[in-house]
Chains A and B, each alone.
Chain A
Amino acid sequence: KAGVTQTPRYLIKTRGQQVTLSCSPISGHRSVSWYQQTPGQGLQFLFEYFSETQRNKGNFPGRFSGRQFSNSRSEMNVSTLELGDSALYLCASSYRGMNTEAFFGQGTRLTVV
């Protein structure tokens, strides 16, 4: 079966702009979680969506938001980009939630200049 697909793979944005990243989970998976990975902070949890509802949220400012559609595809949005938002953004899907095996996408490499 197809894996988790994230688009785009690479993105360059300017400070102050906003960005939307997309994640298509494995077919049948209802849980999609998002993570930010940086060399300085490692892998940090952003939020989790399950059946179109945000079920959990990490400690990130309100500029980071997301949503999930009825087909389980998810998007995350970052508004008013800052240089520190440059990171690899990963999404992971699982059937039941974060206490089960998660399958990660290849990530979107965001560079803010």
Chain B
Amino acid sequence: GQNIDQPTEMTATEGAIVQINCTYQTSGFNGLFWYQQHAGEAPTFLSYNVLDGLEEKGRFSSFLSRSKGYSYLLLKELQMKDSASYLCAVTRGGSYIPTFGRGTSLIVHP
């Protein structure tokens, strides 16, 4: 199977840090995407991790452990505009077809 698991919903306070986890089955793994999708809008690319470790991009960081089938997206200094759905997607095999998780709805409150 290609189950990708991420929490359905998370809430956090403005200015805080939140970590959104994503676990997946490791067979045939190529890489892992994180996308942000605001309600009624298109997904926008945040990161693509292929190698183990942490990649930082401004307030957002993404971590990958290939052997554990685990990734997280770390959002720092949360802002109200960060309220959105965060999608984890895994690519496998030679086709690189992405399989998406169901998304984590993040609610940032004052």
Residues on A facing B (Cβ under 8 Å): 4, 42-45, 48, 55-56, 58, 90, 97-107
B-side interface mostly: strand
Chain B positions within 8 Å of A105 at CB level: 42
- Decide: A103 and B45 in contact? CB cutoff 8 A: yes
Taking beta carbons and an 8 Å cutoff, which residues of B are in contact with A?
Answer: 30-31, 41-45, 48, 87, 89, 91, 95-103
A56-B97, A98-B98 known; A42-B103 Cβ under 8 A: yes
User: In the assembled complex, which residues on chain B have CB atoms less than 8 Å from the CB atom of A102?
Assistant: 45
A99 to B103, CA, bound (A): 20
Q: Do B91 and A104 touch across chains, with their CB atoms under 8 A apart?
A: no
The answer to whether B48 and A101 have CB atoms under 8 Å apart is yes
Given A42-B103, A45-B97, A103-B45, 9 other A-B contacts at CB below 8 A? A42-B101, A42-B102, A43-B100, A45-B98, A90-B43, A98-B97, A98-B98, A99-B30, A100-B48
